[in-house]
Amino acid sequence: MISGDLIREARQRSGLTQAELGERLGKAQSSIARWERGDVQPSLETMRVVVRACDLDLTFHLSKLDDSNVTIIDQHLAMTPAQRFAELLARVRFHDSLGAREIPEAGI
């Protein structure tokens, strides 16, 4: 329900009620509520109009899909909290050891 969440977020950021947003758009408050609940999926162009009515802009960009973290996330989800914590501590210790080597001691 991305569109409903986006409309709600835009409306709330603008400090508008559903009725006030509806008035700006020439729509009933119930129409705004249906969009926000996800009962009705507005078109992309309608979404842009709604967001603009909230004095915001909706922009898009395309980028190459990067799902390289999916494997790592799946591995961590398979771990217990204790295992995740132990791995985190090991990474912190590793990074701390790198930092200790890279920072020369100040000769004061």
Query: At 81, phi and psi to the nearest 5?
Result: -55, -40
Instruction: Go through the domains of the chain in sequence order and give each one's CATH number.
Output: 2-53 (1.10.260.40), 70-102 (no CATH)
Among 44, 55, 60, smallest CA distance to 11 is for 55
In the structure, what pLDDT confidence band is assigned to residue 103 with cuts at 50, 70 and 90?
A: low
Q: Name the maximum alpha-carbon separation found in the chain.
A: 72
Residue 79 has pLDDT above 90, yes or no: yes
Residue 22 and residue 29 in contact, taking contact as beta carbons nearer than 8 Å: yes
pTM for this predicted structure? 0.60
Q: pLDDT at position 102, please?
A: 60
The 10s digit of each residue's pLDDT in 8-66 is: 999 999 999 999 999 999 999 999 999 999 999 999 999 999 999 999 999 989 999 88
Indicate the pLDDT class of residue 86, thresholds 50, 70 and 90.
Answer: very high
Query: To 5 degrees, how large is the angle CA 16–CA 20–CA 22?
Result: 120
Predicted local distance difference test score (pLDDT) of residue 84: 93
